[in-house]
Chains A and B, each alone.
Chain A
Amino acid sequence: NAGVTQTPKFRILKIGQSMTLQCTQDMNHNYMYWYRQDPGMGLKLIYYSVGAGITDKGEVPNGYNVSRSTTEDFPLRLELAAPSQTSVYFCASGRGATNEKLFFGSGTQLSVL
């Protein structure tokens, strides 16, 4: 059981480039989340999804886009990368009840230079 899988693990982008961070889960979870983690700032919610075809903004959505065409996959798209998007990105999934834990991927470390 792989859980939540994120790719790539590391990436360096130049300013203005675009990329997609991949996230897939094999637990049949309806709820999926993208967070970014910056030193001393904790985790900030970028986007989340409550099921295939349904997404919504979190706290820091600017500069990002998401889609959810299947239950398993929740890719995060960065358009026109900026240095402010240098961060560690985590994908997470859950059953949806807010008294239950989230399952996290191992993260993508992104540097925009």
Chain B
Amino acid sequence: AQSVTQLGSHVSVSEGALVLLRCNYSSSVPPYLFWYVQYPNQGLQLLLKYTSAATLVKGINGFEAEFKKSETSFHLTKPSAHMSDAAEYFCAVSATSGTYKYIFGTGTRLKVLA
């Protein structure tokens, strides 16, 4: 069985500050991991994904995430927050075999303060 846990349903940061959104996963097989972003009244868009190549993954808009197997984590970071980063962020996991399903976390809403 697979699952993802996102710690913190709401995170607030000041503009220019570090963004850290946490995601821990559980998977009985090697996982594929994703971060999606959802802007208001829109569908989800892919930020980045881990597919067992490099453990540090760079995505769009300056975001990156590091896969840490020992910690079963895939936290999302950005060195300097912009106002335009305000959105909801979802971590997701899929299996390398056995299912075509993607499991999503409960989401973290990021607020950027001026």
Contacts and interface: CB of A to CB of B under 8 A. Distances in A.
Q: Are A and B associated in one complex?
A: yes
Interface residues of A, number: 23
Contacts of B95: 98
Interface of A: 4, 31, 33, 35, 40-43, 45, 48, 50, 58, 90, 92, 96, 98-99, 101-102, 104-107
A58 B103 CA distance: 10
Given A42-B105, A101-B49, A96 B100 contact: yes
A45 B99 CA distance: 13
A98 B90 contact: no
Closest 5 interchain pairs by CB? A104-B43, A98-B94, A42-B106, A101-B46, A43-B104
Given A42-B104, A42-B106, A42-B107, A99 B96 contact: yes
Contact of A99 (B9, B49, B105): B49
